[in-house]
Structure 1
Amino acid sequence: MVREYGRLTTRSVAEPTLALAHIEPADFDWLCLLSNRYKVSHEPALTQLEDSCTLQLDNYVGVIETPTGQVIEILPKTANDGDSPERGRELIRRMLECALDIPSREAAEALLDCFDLPLNEWVMARFLTELDHLVKRGVRSDYQRLEAIEPFLRGQLDVARQMRQPPGRSHHFALRYDLFLPDRAENRLLKLALDTVANTTQHPDNWRLAQELRHLLVDIPASRDVEGDFRQWRCDRLIAHYQGARPWCELILYRAMPSSLHGEWRGISLLFPMEKLFERYVEVCLREQLQPGASLTAQAASKYLCQHQDQDIFQLKPDLLLHHDAKHWVLDVKWKRLDSSDRDSKYGISQGDLYQLFAYGHKYLHDQDEGHLVLIYPSWGKLKAPLAPFHFDKRLTLWALPFELDAALSPRLVLPSQQDDDPRSRLSLPLRTTTPE
């Protein structure tokens, strides 16, 4: 078990920590090959080769299983040595539910929290729970048009085919008829996902429930065309109870992920880039906290950095654009740990991020007397309160604010106290549940 940007080494490690753990040479070589495949597909690399014996992980979180059976669990970098792994797992679960637009089901969560499940087993458990709920509500069937040669009459006689019957087969009938069968796109996909889980899970409770459900769905064939069947997945009233199982089914069947993230199974592995999960999580939480009349636009793309030959070029896309009345705020989300005590190192803020926000402010807030830009970072032990504001000029001000991730404190953006008489040092966002520190 390691955290983001932790190291895996083939050298012996006396005391493994979240920052450094031992890995077998065969697994080391396999991770190197896997990382190269990510680069070829223009995805961020899974690992960086530090030396001939050491790999540094990138910003993916989740679980990955090597061909030798070694399971590597990668926790968010907010986890410190000595922290319970369940805290990191619980954070990923909440973010994943937000990214997939899945409402939390308290009863199911209460049961699942009894188990110290890694992320991949948790995803399989959620799928099985939703599928069990679906089966209890009833598996939907549909009429299927069949053409067959039968020794008895039923349905419609196909006269043309019957006339072409050879003399010795004249006592058989060429028929067309409809049967009410559960062989439909949604059920085929669920059956394929169920077979995958049943053959993959290592958790006894997941395995037992998967076998029970396989017995109940034995008459349904597994999908042979995943993408084609997903295109045929209906969303009408008669199968509304199928919608809860669909996101988990998509995860398990390698389906393209929601636009906010990309994940991929490798064996029983499930990996997500953490910055995409965090960005989506912040967006969902802020939408729930908006005051009446306020709106939030994700990935606004109405402005360009400059013009070239009378055409706009270099599109500017801030993560979030907040609107209320005639005012706007530009918000950008960064999955990075700042140190509020390290003034000499500029708290860990990237100069490139300030350049980026400066351009956003001049293009998106050019018509406001006071423009406020916000960089949102995860809250952790060394960043619990907002930093003092950064003033670009008399009009533009940038704020670095922590986003509270602790479920016990409720996810929220921590605003600065409003004690300064300078209007540039006062930030008032149209959020209902945010309390000044």
Structure 2
Amino acid sequence: MAKSVVVREYARLTSSPLATQTLDEAQISETAFDWLCELAGSFRRSGAQLLQLENRRWLKLDSHVGVLESPCGQVIEILPKHFEEGDCVTQSRALLQKLITSALDMPARETELASLALFDAPLAEWVMGQFLHELEHLLKRGLRFDYHRVEDEQRYLRGQLDLVRQMRQPPGRQHCFQLRHDVFLPDRPENRLLKSALQLVLEHAQQANNWRLAHELAGMLDELPRSEDIDADFGRWHNDRLMAHYQGVKPWCELILHRQMPLAVAGAYRGISMLFPMEKLFGQHVARVLRGQLMPGAKLRTQVASRYLCQHAGKSMFQLRPDLLLEAGTHRYVLDTKWKRVDVNNRDGKYDLSQVDFYQMLAYARQYFPQGQGEMALIYPRCATFAEPLQPFDFSHGLTLHVWPFDLERDELVITTGTRMPVYKPRNTYAA
């Protein structure tokens, strides 16, 4: 059985033999199956849902994407369930890489990374490749050094003489000098973290290009010590002007050292595991794209938490946190992103929309539109069954809810013609 398995969201996993492996059903080892069951239990205790157990023979994944490596070496790569035609694996990997880069707020640069972008590698190898290329770019510009105070005993004068220690020397050692001096070394928290991340890459890299580049860079950092306290060293990471060239490598370093994972994989063994809630990746990407398309004077805020649903005994209860709040002058627009499929052909089934989402938007309107009038929007990923906006939903009294698709391939929100949204007109608009 293959050590690496590629599936997508909501796939079913089993340890029993399968006639064929697909993106929706795959076989894994019994030890990996048992490890996933334990991992799911720890996730449930922390309030997150990773997978469901079916008949003690099947595990059904949830909407988390990324990669998991079990202690037995089984690697499970989980991709977004967005494409149904063509090479779904390549397209889904490219989409996931794009969303992770957007979530880490990385620039889309960079001619020297063009070849890496065309390299269809598993997610873990892609992350390690991004880290290695950013580290190589950093080393070309030079590591940041710092002065370290050293107290030493020598038979010659160097630096500053420590008079107190010198006077306390026993008889017969007057020829030895107690000194204090500074040494200019690259032993800084940032460099120690880079060495620790590079060591993990050396242990896990399988692709020839990553393996070769990792060993080349390891020779350049050979004299650096590894970090003994990762969290403390990240807390000491400087972001001043002199450390500006370190900003490109920092997010990848955090990702490899399991510090910036949206969901931490519990337990002592984590391998190269990294998980991302697809709902958050989609929402963060939509926010980043819209922020770059705003008209002058408009302002976009994310995860606004200034309003509550009600008051009780003098205290506010049930905080309201819309994904996006768009303001332009006196106009306000409440937007929420949903990583779900909409089917315009299923009108009898209410287009597969959730009634709970509509109630949620109505609660937002109650607090963010004091006059009871305004425009809101639910944003879903654009797909074959949802290429155009739906007819606006009228809550009466001037309150309107739009349902709009967001094109992940072209990075544009497809809005209804005639809306007053303060964003530049996209290439495609559709009449309501």
Mark yes or no: TM-score above 0.5: yes
User: Which of these residues, 348, 353, 359, is aligned with residue 352 of structure 2?
Assistant: 348
Residue 384 of structure 1 corresponds to 387
Residue 223 of structure 2 corresponds to 219
Residue 298 of structure 1 corresponds to 302
Matched residue of 1:169: which SS? coil
CA distance in 2, matches of 1:134, 1:126: 12
Q: CA deviation at 1:168?
A: 4.4
In structure 2, give the amino acid aligned to 1:412: E
* Superposition pairs of residues 313-332 of structure 1, within 5 angstroms: 313-332=317-336
Residue 32 of structure 2 corresponds to 27
1:48 aligns with 2:52: yes
Matched residue of 2:292: which SS? helix
Contact 2:305 2:319 in 1 (8 A): yes
Q: CA deviation at 1:302?
A: 2.2
User: Which of these residues, 177, 202, 205, is aligned with residue 206 of structure 2?
Assistant: 202
CA distance in 2, matches of 1:335, 1:386: 16
Question: 33-42 or 293-302, which moves further after superposition?
Answer: 33-42
* Superposition pairs of residues 391-402 of structure 1, within 5 angstroms: 391-402=394-405
Q: TM-score, normalised by structure 1?
A: 0.92
Residue 427 of structure 1 corresponds to 419
Matched residue of 1:249: which SS? helix
In structure 2, give the amino acid aligned to 1:33: E
CA distance in 2, matches of 1:274, 1:263: 15
* Superposition pairs of residues 121-160 of structure 1, within 5 angstroms: 121-160=125-164
| Alpha-carbon displacement from aligned partner over 1:40-77 (angstroms, at most 9, x marks no partner) | 233x1221111211000011101112222222111101
Residue 376 of structure 2 corresponds to 373
Matched residue of 1:45: which SS? coil
1:6 aligns with 2:11: yes
Residue 3 of structure 2 corresponds to none
Contact 2:263 2:274 in 1 (8 A): no
Question: 213-222 or 261-270, which moves further after superposition?
Answer: 261-270
User: Which of these residues, 230, 244, 248, is aligned with residue 244 of structure 1?
Assistant: 248
| Alpha-carbon displacement from aligned partner over 1:319-355 (angstroms, at most 9, x marks no partner) | 1111112111110011111111111221111111111
Residue 109 of structure 2 corresponds to 105
Question: 273-282 or 198-207, which moves further after superposition?
Answer: 198-207
In structure 2, give the amino acid aligned to 1:48: Q
User: Which of these residues, 119, 122, 125, is aligned with residue 118 of structure 1?
Assistant: 122
Contact 1:126 1:248 in 2 (8 A): yes
Contact 1:17 1:81 in 2 (8 A): no
CA distance in 2, matches of 1:35, 1:139: 41
Q: CA deviation at 1:130?
A: 0.7
Q: CA deviation at 1:82?
A: 5.4
Q: Which runs of 5+ in 2 are unaligned?
A: 1-5
Residue 166 of structure 2 corresponds to 162
Residue 436 of structure 1 corresponds to 429
CA distance in 2, matches of 1:206, 1:318: 41
CA distance in 2, matches of 1:151, 1:117: 57
Contact 2:258 2:274 in 1 (8 A): no
Residue 412 of structure 1 corresponds to 412
Contact 1:18 1:80 in 2 (8 A): no
Q: CA deviation at 1:24?
A: 2.0
Matched residue of 1:289: which SS? coil
Question: 354-363 or 169-178, which moves further after superposition?
Answer: 169-178
Residue 89 of structure 1 corresponds to 93
Contact 2:113 2:133 in 1 (8 A): no
| Alpha-carbon displacement from aligned partner over 1:283-302 (angstroms, at most 9, x marks no partner) | 00010111111111111222
CA distance in 2, matches of 1:393, 1:108: 54
CA distance in 1, matches of 2:285, 2:425: 16
CA distance in 1, matches of 2:156, 2:55: 74
1:36 aligns with 2:41: yes
Contact 1:412 1:433 in 2 (8 A): no
Residue 229 of structure 1 corresponds to 233
CA distance in 2, matches of 1:11, 1:99: 37
RMSD over aligned Cα atoms: 1.7
Contact 1:331 1:376 in 2 (8 A): yes
Summarize the Cα distance change of 1:70–1:4 in structure 2 as closer, same or farther, 3 Å threshold. same
Contact 2:7 2:26 in 1 (8 A): yes
CA distance in 2, matches of 1:28, 1:262: 20
Contact 1:3 1:79 in 2 (8 A): no
| Alpha-carbon displacement from aligned partner over 1:95-147 (angstroms, at most 9, x marks no partner) | 11111111012314311134221111111111110110110101111111001
In structure 1, give the amino acid aligned to 2:39: L
Contact 1:18 1:81 in 2 (8 A): no
Contact 1:13 1:22 in 2 (8 A): yes
- Sequence identity, in percent? 51
CA distance in 1, matches of 2:190, 2:117: 29
CA distance in 2, matches of 1:283, 1:262: 21
CA distance in 2, matches of 1:268, 1:386: 40
In structure 2, give the amino acid aligned to 1:16: Q
Q: CA deviation at 1:12?
A: 2.4
